[in-house]
Structure 1
Amino acid sequence: MNKTLLFSFLFIQNILFAQFSERSLSSEKWQFKNAKENKWLTATVPGTVHLDLMNNKIIPDPYKDENEKKVQWVENEDWDYQTSFVISSKELANQNIELVFNGLDTFSEIYINGKLLQSTDNMFRKWTIPVKQNLKIGGNILQVKFKSAVHAGKELAKKVPFTTPESPRSYIRKAQYQFGWDWGPRLVTAGIWKEVKLNFWNLAKLENVKIEQKALTKQKAALNIHTEILADKEGKYSVSINNKISNIQLKKGKNSIEIPFTIENPKLWQPNGQGEQNLYNIKVSLQKESKILTEKTERIGLKTIELVQEKDQKGKSFYFKVNGNPIYAKGTNWIPGDSFSPRVTKGKYQELIKACKDVNMNMIRIWGGGIYEDDEFYKACDENGILVWQDFMFAGSFYPADENFQENVEMEVKDQIERLQNHASLALWCGNNEVDEAIVNWGYQKQFKYSKEDSMKVWKDYKKIFHEVIPNAIKKYATSDKQIYWESSPSIGWGHKESLTEGDSHYWGVWWGEQPFEIYNEKVPRFASEYGFQGMPTLETTKSMFSGTPDLSLQNGTVKAHEKHSRGWEIIDNYMKRDYNIPTDFVKYNYVSQLLQARGMQIAIEAHRRAKPYNMGTLYWQLNDCWPVVSWSSIDYSGNWKALHYQVKRSFENQVILISEEKIEEDEILNFYVVNDNLEKVEDLYLDFNIMKFNGEKQGSGGLADSYTIEPNGILKFPFSLEEIIGNSKKDEIFLAITARDKNEKIFAQANYFFVKPKDLKLIKPTIKIKKISPKEIEVSTDVLAKDVYLLGDAHFSDNFFDLLPNTSKRIKLSKPLEKVEIMSLFDTMN
């Protein structure tokens, strides 16, 4: 054999045994243009057309001023993207080359070197296209031509003989919130919103790795490792799982392989507040003659989870059991972190999920009108012990069920199952957000004058997608029948009595129904998966709404434009009148609106927790924002904690004392509920309380004569006569301070209770002092009760919006040094 032939033979051998490799095309020089124009402009991938237009100064920032109105034209245009890339002879020598788009938004055509390769119609799918035959050595042109999703949706809507609500968004497999919501702008985007890359492989490759947990004991975890392998050449191969090798025989084409694997003496993954988040790396590699062709690493947690629904005297239970223990779900709802998702950084995901852990949450619901979140979101939930209630991306409308739509949805479910099912945090798959409720409760059929046949068609389509297509796809593509599927959230619409006795509930009697906060004490469901109230964002975020000098006024057009609920300001004012004095000063109004929101949610959360075990979950609406806005969020768009988030931390503590008043015949009763969400019993607890005036003068005291024991996951109720507790004291001049502690004086829980609404308190002007302990720590002290102490400054405070009792102090840590910290309390709003 001559040297040239030998070199060629070795070169081909090296290529055939080359490890799977990938090359990002996101970092190539991308351009875009309006399809009607000829001028190409610079683009960023991943990205969206709005971001590219902003970067090229074609449109203003829609988050600023009233600019949202000025950019609506963008959704009606078609947009072309392109880049050029060089392919080497070595790259082209690979047996297989695939072009992979992890996300295209939404209707597009993909061309290489002028040839149409693929049309797309789903923002949530991954598109993998064999392209070896379309590439050439040297320069290649990749083009993606996007059609207006609004126009495409309208064409699809024309095929249906009746009008559907929110048309045309329900015909488009695209993030529904982009069409505008009562907390978000209308910004209907297009673009390459996730990574694009080329994959090179030879002989065979791992398509996916799905890990099934067959059995879990203290001694061992029995797993099945499922993998799909695509083989270009049949023959003998081997699979290594954490260096344990199994020999396999592959046929040409797709192969489904299942290999058992055991972890000895496993450490469990526990939700936040219940233990450690132990995680294991499972490294799977495909080999040929001891050479690695391709490999994947999955990070898993070992846990058991079940949804318990058992009939009882009042209806049917609804709670999660994790690792054999009932868990009280404490958490929130998640919306996309930005109207332009590609700019949500890994750091922002980590920061927001860490903020959930820091306030004692253990569950988050991904709302069905957004996106299936980035891998970093689920990674953060795995690491922080936050269980994920995962909606599929359908929200508050009627959806079609023609054959193309069914197939599209099935492939969407397949892609997301294969991407997400290994995450330890995954708790439940839910078909949709409020689609059942929209059909049954919202009166669209009457509004649009449906015939009986039209109404039957809507319900039939609903059943097809959410009772057949999605659950069947889960069974088909998930590795285990233990995946929990729930058709719709809520399961029964608000206003039906069964919504409070079974399933999960979205209770909107507060805000939408304009009922007082106190109605939460009566309307307690089995599992509250949505409820909420609006509050303003922090001052820093409010100022960020302006491109120039902020005009902080409730009458300002920019401030008004960043409230997307049509009656938002009116509703906030109506509630504020009930509980607070309405300030005329903007800064004070901003402060009180946050207190109002926090107060409402505190009443709701504590009503839910007092009802344990009848109620076993409370997820308020909502954690975050997608732009600077007045909304239901507890953390604003800039990442600042509103008063609500600080209050959630207190209300979600694993061990709490909750207080409520009730009237039994003629007697007024004050109930003390002692709640223990921990998995350990607490013995020899003592409970005592003091009645105090706002200046610190003690008016009375009391407690339990004997100690008590509270079981794991337990709750105890201690009723007292209100008259005996407060005596002749005036309710508007006193408060109650209560403590539960053990025999060693270790505090189990503490609480303060006020007997009248905030506006009726006869507060005394406090002298609040701030002492600097270090550059990033201060001490706040007061002489008399300082209610709802508010620290103002461009930093994160370890606590804020807190009550400071007479003649006490509190140390606060700052995220960064501040020259000055301003301070305010509720007293400042009462004059």
Structure 2
Amino acid sequence: MFKKIFLFLIIVCCSVSAQTSYRNLSTENWTFNKQNETKKHKATIPGTVHTDLYENQLIPDPFYGANEKQLQWIENENWEYESTFSLSEKEISNENIELEFDGLDTYATIYINGKLILEANNMFRKWTISAKNHLKKGKNHLKIVFLSAVQKGKVEASKLPYTLPEKERVFVRKAQYQFGWDWGPRFVTAGIWKKVQLKFWNSAKIENIKYRQVELNNQNALLEFTTEICVSEVKTIQLKINEKLETFHLKKGTNKVKMHYEISNPKRWWCNGLGFPHQYEFHFSLEQSRKIIDNKELKIGLRTIELVQDKDEFGTSFYFKLNGKPVFMKGANYIPPDSFLPNQTSTNYQQLIQNARKANMNMIRVWGGGVYADDEFYDACDANGILVWQDFMFACAMYPGDEKFIENIKQEVIDNVNRLQNHPSIALWCGNNENDEGWHNWGWQKQFNYSKADSTQIWNDYKKVFHEMIPQTLDSLLSKEKNLYWPSSPSIGWGRKESLTQGDSHYWGVWWGKEPFEMYEKKVGRFMSEYGFQSMPNLETFQKVIAKEDFNFTSKAFKNHQKHPTGFETITEYMTRDFPVPTSMEKYNYVSQLLQAHGMKIAIEAHRLAKPYCMGSLYWQLNDCWPVTSWSTLDYYGNWKAAHYQVKESFAPIFLAVTENENGFSIIGSNDNLEAISGTLAAKLIDFSGKELWTASKECTLDVEKNTTCMQISNVDLPKFKKEKTVLALAFTSNHKKTVAYHYFVKPKELQLEKPTIEINIVGETLIELKTNTLAKNVYLEANSAFFEENYFDLVPGIPKIIKTQKPTQETKIFSLFDAMNE
């Protein structure tokens, strides 16, 4: 009896010790100090030197007021991080111990027990060190010295005989936006910005898993999994995928084994608006003698994605097919959600992507001047049906092309593609943001006085990275269905005619060129991957970072939270064209948001009306990295601006628009569903008091491949009406679902509005009903931090509106355009 129990315990202990295990070193006690200073301070891992300094009350809040300017010294210093941890006899007895850094920012020299073991030089890479021979039982000391990325970049820049655009930042493989952008502050960080851990393993471990779809149809899916297994010696091992088990004979070192897996009647992964983003769960376990050695889990979505570029009468198409269906892509450009990325949590990423889904988006572009996002971001995109256009991290500059630099970024590509490739949300890999356009259109050759030889060298270096190394590396890593690559976004600069007939387009005639919003209707390309307009965030957002006495356009604090050199000047110029320009800060803030929403409405409407010529609309930008006046529709704290509510309406699956001509009006229906939809279109001409001047209705079927003209309205059919006091109300009803739209005949500032009396009735715990006696334009609701599913909406007499709230509301503040017009 005793022998049996003893033998059982031996088997259990062996099983436990054979299992791959981890020790999170992020939770150990860490300290940091400026190099050559003896006093040490508590550090938080993951973190940054800026946040550690702030938590230790050594610097003021970086986001507050104009504090940014007095904190620039931090980037020029070297910083040291240290921790002491103990290893048990059991831990040290493992055959292999690896030290894993998921992210080091950026130039990091790592010492274990006083011995140099690694020098890292890339924020975007994962660094793994074989640490068994450097560790001991009992106390161990880990020290990391971070050298100033700014100073290192300047040293590298000095080695070239010419100056590259953006100087030191292009030599440093770290988040480019940290060097300052026209929406973000300059905080060039350093630190252990992602998890650090020890990995213990013995006979074998799973290194990486990838899969390809050998076959996918309605009856069957055949998958081929390639599992990379590392073993310490020749051995026979079993790999189990869910309930399927196969035996493999492996050599010492790294082995790649393939297993097929079939799924009957597979469910496809669909993007938001077209179906459910179904995912299958797979459990991988590495076994020997019925003992589990290592295991991993993987979620995958079965889908096909294609980028279609066919020659046509206009130029060349640019659109995506998902599961064989052409899809109009609707979404935005994503920037890092914080200047100090460890501040963000899994919940933050989930809420951000849910806000994109709620606004009827189906694609997000991860912009190339930030970072490859955290796993939680892509998990949220997978779960919410949001496709990802993934830039590599290069933006608005030219980069060196020496062998050492290219090898570094090649490993960066390998690390991140291996990490991200299994996500069904990944639709496209893109080399860079605006580097090609910048070289050809921004005058760098003249600005930096390049010789012909310099220009040739710089452009050849560009081609080595974006036309050779990256696509060749992708070819080596990805199966055919995952390998969609686009060298640069945009493919052609917005000032050239070809930018609207082929490839993707960044159109900045509005804002940078100060062209009127109506130019959005003329400047429509095949796929609009950038365009946008600024607005202020809600006042509550600014009140957290700007003192009350500094709440004016002339204060240093207020100016510091507008990073565009002529930002407010541009906003005011556009506001003067279309809206009243209030003098009070509160009303100006409100109208700035209406202005942005107005511009986005015109742009998105133009893009959707051009379907199928145009098949994508991704505005700049979705979010902010700090509290600021910017192009975002969600502010730093996740609050919806007026534009985000407008985007939700403009990106809706069924969209109604009115086009005017000399003879009258056309009502166009756009349908982004998988099938045609039949319903009834009702049109009413209503004056602002609620009187119906004209009505018409018509049965209509909305096509999916192209837009449908549902109704033509001749001027002779309409009674005479005053354009300044009339609205055309539209409603398309199908299967008890109603899409509503309002069309005005003059600019907002020309509307003859009267003071509305708005009645609010609570009709459910989280439902309110609103009625008005006269047109209430752009009604803004605010109540004890409650979120309203609709806001900044138009309220028409005789057409009550029911709004859902996040939580029960008591006193609700109401504001409308009339209030802004009448100070």
Shorter-chain TM-score above 0.5: yes
Q: 1:797 aligns with which of 770, 785, 788?
A: 788
> Residue in 2 aligned with 1:601?
600
Paired residue for 1:708, among 700, 716, 725?
700
Describe the superposition over 1:274-320 as per-residue Cα deviations: whole angstroms up to 9, x where unpaired: 01111111111111112111111111000000000100000011000
What is the identity, as a one-letter code, of the residue corresponding to 2:208?
Answer: N
Which residue does 1:688 correspond to in 2?
A: 682
Q: Following the alignment from structure 2 to structure 1, what is the Cα–Cα distance between the partners of residues 799 and 479?
A: 57
C-alpha offsets along residues 676-714 of structure 1, whole Å, 9 cap, x if unaligned? Answer: 11112223x33331111100112222344xx33233344
* In structure 1, distance between residues paired with 2:671 and 2:767: 31
Cα pair distance change 1:722/1:731, threshold 3 Å = farther
Aligned equivalent of 2:742, options 752, 755, 772: 752
Confirm or deny: 8 A CA contact 1:661 1:671 kept in the other structure.
Answer: yes
User: Which deviates further from its counterpart, 184-193 or 709-718?
Assistant: 709-718
3-state secondary structure, aligned to 1:283? strand
Instruction: Kindly provide the amino acid, as one letter, of the partner of residue 582 in structure 1.
Output: V
Q: 1:482 to 1:424 in 2, by over 3 A?
A: closer
Determine the C-alpha separation between the residues in 2 that align with 1:80 and 1:539: 39
Aligned equivalents of 2:690, 2:572: Cα separation in 1: 33
In 2: Cα distance, 1:722 partner to 1:390 partner: 47
* Mapping for residues 344-423 of structure 1, pairs under 5 Å: 344-423=344-423
1:717 to partner: Cα distance: 2.2
The question of 1:649 aligning with 2:679 is answered no
Q: Compute the displacement of 1:556 (Å).
A: 3.2
1:86-165 superposed matches below 5 A? 86-165=86-165
Q: Which runs of 5+ in 1 are unaligned?
A: none
Deviations, residues 186-237 of structure 1 (Å, cap 9, x unaligned) = 0000000000000000011000111111210111111111111111011111
Q: Aligned partner of 2:666: which letter?
A: N
Structure 1 residue 102 displacement after superposition: 0.2
Equivalent in the alignment of 1:457: 457
Greater mean deviation of Cα atoms: 97-106 or 582-591: 582-591
Q: Which residue of 2 aligns with 1:288?
A: 288
Partner residue, 1:579: 578
| 8 Å Cα contact 1:784-1:807 kept in structure 2 | no
Q: CA deviation at 1:263?
A: 1.5
Call closer, same or farther: CA 1:190–1:174 in 2, change over 3 Å: same
1:59-109: per-residue Cα shift (whole Å, max 9, x none)? 111111110101100000000000000011111110000000000000010
Aligned equivalents of 2:45, 2:549: Cα separation in 1: 33
> Partner amino acid for 1:204?
A
Q: Which residue of 1 aligns with 2:637?
A: 638
Q: Which residue of 2 aligns with 1:182?
A: 182
Residue equivalent to 1:557: 556
Matched, 1:778 2:773: no
Give the equivalent residue in structure 2 for 1:697: 691
> 2:754: which partner in 1?
764
Cα distance in 1 between the residues matched to 2:36 and 2:697: 78
Counterpart CA distance in 1 for 2:187 and 2:34 is 17
The correspondence for 2:778, drawn from 788, 794, 809, is 788
The 8 Å contact of residues 655 and 748 in structure 1, kept in 2 or not, is answered as: no
Alpha carbons 2:369, 2:393 under 8 Å: kept: yes
CA-CA distance at 1:738 after TM superposition? 1.7
Matches within 5 A, 1:235-634: 235-480=235-480, 482-546=482-546, 548-549=547-548, 551-634=550-633
The code of the aligned residue for 1:764 comes to: E
Which moved further from structure 2: 695-704 or 334-343? 695-704
- Contact 2:494/2:506, CA 8 A, preserved across alignment: yes
Q: Which runs of 4+ in 1 moved over 6 A?
A: none
C-alpha change, 1:740 and 1:807, in structure 2 (3 Å) is: closer
Amino acid at match of 1:803: D
Contact 1:788 1:826 in 2 (8 A): yes
Q: Deviations over 1:567-623 (max 9, x none)?
A: 001000000000011001111111000000000010000000000000000000011
Asked if the contact 2:786/2:809 (under 8 Å) is kept, the reply is yes
How much is the aligned-residue C-alpha RMSD, in angstroms?
Answer: 1.8
Q: Which amino acid aligns with 1:589?
A: Y
1:734 aligns with 2:726: yes
CA distance in 1, matches of 2:151, 2:12: 49
Give the distance between the partners of 1:481 and 1:812, measured in 2 at CA: 43
Per-residue displacement from partner, 1:235-256 (whole Å, max 9, x unpaired)? 1111101121110011001111
CA distance in 1, matches of 2:590, 2:110: 51
What is the CA–CA distance in structure 1 between the aligned matches of 2:497 and 2:548, rounded to whole Å? 51
Q: Whole-Å Cα distance in 2 between the matches of residues 786 and 492 of structure 1?
A: 43
Matched residue of 1:828: which SS? helix
TM value normalised by structure 2? 0.97
Inter-partner Cα distance in structure 2 for 1:11 and 1:245: 22
- Decide whether the 8 Å contact of 1:210 with 1:479 is kept in 2: no
Quick one: which amino acid aligns to residue 575 of structure 1?
Y
Q: Which moves more between the two structures, 537-546 or 634-643?
A: 537-546
Matched residue type, 2:814: I
| 8 A Cα contact 1:656 1:749, kept in partner | yes
Question: Residue 677 of structure 1 aligns with which residue?
Answer: 672
Give the deviation of 1:12 after TM superposition: 12
| Inter-partner Cα distance in structure 1 for 2:45 and 2:384 | 30
Give distance in 2, aligned partners of 1:144 and 1:804: 60
Give the letter aligned to residue 821 of structure 1. T
What one-letter code is carried by the residue in structure 1 that aligns with 2:635?
D
Q: Distance in 2 between matches of 1:253 and 1:772?
A: 68
Conserved 8 A contact 2:33-2:79 = yes
Do the aligned partners of 1:329 and 1:363 also contact (CA within 8 Å) in 2?
A: yes
Counterpart Cα distance in 1 of 2:683 and 2:704: 24
Please give the alpha-carbon distance, in whole angstroms, between the structure 1 residues aligned to 2:117 and 2:604: 53
Equivalents in 2 of 1:353, 1:375: separation in Å? 13
Residue 226 of structure 1 contacts residue 479 of structure 1 at CA under 8 Å; is this kept in 2?
no
Asked if structure 2 preserves the Cα contact closer than 8 Å seen for 1:654 and 1:677, the reply is yes
Percent identity of equivalent pairs: 52
Shift of 1:675: 1.0
Asked if structure 1 preserves the Cα contact closer than 8 Å seen for 2:670 and 2:704, the reply is no
Shift of 1:343: 0.9
Cα 1:774–1:675, aligned 2, differ >3 Å: closer, same or farther? closer
Partner of 1:139, secondary structure, is strand
SS at match of 1:378: helix
Is the 1:336–1:371 contact (alpha carbons within 8 Å) kept by the matching residues of 2? yes
Q: What is the deviation of 1:809? A: 2.6
Aligned length: 816
* Counterpart Cα distance in 1 of 2:269 and 2:717: 45
Instruction: Measure the CA separation in 2 of the matches of 1:361 and 1:463.
Output: 33
Which stretch shows the higher mean deviation, 429-438 or 693-702? 693-702
Matched residue, 1:27: 27
CA deviation after TM superposition for structure 1 residue 668, in Å: 4.1
**Could you state the TM-score of these two structures normalised by the residue count of structure 1?**
0.96
Distance verdict in 2 for CA 1:811–1:552, change over 3 Å: farther
Superposition deviation, residue 725 in structure 1:
5.1
Letter in 1 for 2:725: E
CA distance in 1, matches of 2:12, 2:385: 48
